[in-house]
Amino acid sequence: MVFSQDEITSGSAFHIINDNARRRLSTHKRSTENTTCTFAKASVRREFRNMTLSARKSFTNAVKCLQKIPPKSMSPNESVQYPGVKSRYDEYVATHINYTYNIHMTADFWAWHRYFIWNLEQDLHKCGYNGTLPYWDWQMDAEAPQDSELFNGDQYSMGSNGDYIANRTDTWVWPQEVTFPPGTGGGCVSKGPFSNYTVNLGPLDNPYGGNVVSNYQHNPRCLVRDLNPWFSRQYNTYTNITNLIMNHNNIVDFQAEAQGYFSRADPFGMHGGGHWMAGGNSTLMDFHSSPGDPLFFLHHAQVDRIWILWQQLDVENRQYAISGTSTLNNDPPSAEMTLNDILPFGFVANDRMFGDLMDTFVGPFCYRYQ
């Protein structure tokens, strides 16, 4: 497929790629159908704005429900070691904290996060939500995320931007060695479903970490956002994602570009760009405790969606393609991962074999994207 620059910039090229990948997925799955999961039976994840208003509200209500349910997997002895874990939802945050350096810039980044967010989807069903995990297509909002319908602050949104804080200065961040301007919010989310939402764990990382004495200290505070187009315009546009999918034919190059790998040319990638675009000096921007903002799960559903699109353009060679080790940037050095490796999921779920998590139509999964 060859596209003009106008087609790439406008998003029409991406939508053609998406439609083509969906047709390929449908054809491929029909030729290999089993009785457990078929293309027709697979649940469909939708962009948040394509959900009905009642489904949106049911989703955010279920997220808040998980914050009220006591921890499910933590033993009494462990609860002493994790004083900041107050709910089932917090068990997700603690698990992400524990494995941060083994699930980013690693071979299992894609598959680990896929199963992580899928488990949250299952837990939401226990809180009365009957739908699928939505995704946030941030390409639609790259020019001005602060103006997105997702953040208009009504009862059917994902909450508002943070309250605006004026007179802030630019921030330098390591290890990316980037200086970025303040976003369009910076304060507490004061409107919408998460206006009274409490974040219990973190922050642990630059540029806003260092005010907790342990990774698991109870540090209750409001949900903070600082929607920042400086990031989205550089890392999360239709041009970024179309070029990512079309110009990287092997998993090594694809995941390096998508994750950023702290390269000087692209230090954030679409993954980091989505985190930092949402901002928040103690939530989605925080490397370890980022699941504290429920937007994390919509962002990672979009990341999962992009991986699937890339896989489906050459399913024979890409469906089970992996590359890399189990440590961040291979530091400290570790063995190359294989599909037979067991991935840990801490308080979230039982461990799973890597190879079971590479296809959303097999193993524990049966879903696709709209």
In a domain, 121, yes or no: yes
Q: How many domains does the chain have?
A: 1
Half-sphere exposure of 207 (CA within 13 A, CB side): 16
Domain that holds residue 301: 45-369
Higher pLDDT, 322 or 29: 322
Domain-embedded: residue 28: no
Asked if residue 221 is part of any domain, the answer here is yes
User: Does any domain span residue 151?
Assistant: yes
Mean pLDDT throughout 287-303? 97
So what's the pLDDT on residue 63? 99
For residue 211, what pLDDT is reported?
A: 65
Tell me if 313 is assigned to some domain. yes
Q: Do the domain assignments include residue 5?
A: no
Assign 64 a pLDDT band (cuts: 50, 70, 90): very high
Residue 262 contacts residue 329 (beta carbons within 8 Å) = yes
Q: Is the pLDDT of residue 47 over 80?
A: yes
pLDDT score for 282: 64
Residue 272 inside a domain? The answer is yes
User: In which band, very low, low, confident or very high, does the pLDDT at 258 lie, cut at 50, 70 and 90?
Assistant: very high
* Interval 170-196 mean pLDDT: 90
Beta strands in the chain (DSSP E): 43-45, 162-164, 171-173, 178-180, 186-189, 198-199, 221-222, 342-343, 352-353, 367-369
327-354, pLDDT tens digit by residue? 999 999 999 999 999 999 999 999 999 9
pLDDT interval class at 212 (50, 70, 90): confident
pLDDT for 105 equals 94
Residue 226 is assigned to a structural domain of this protein? yes
Q: Which two tokens stand for residue 22?
A: 């969906």
DSSP 8-state code for residue 160:
B
pLDDT score recorded for residue 92: 99
CATH number at residue 50: 1.10.1280.10
CB 13, CB 301: distance < 8 Å: no
What confidence score (pLDDT) does residue 31 get? 65
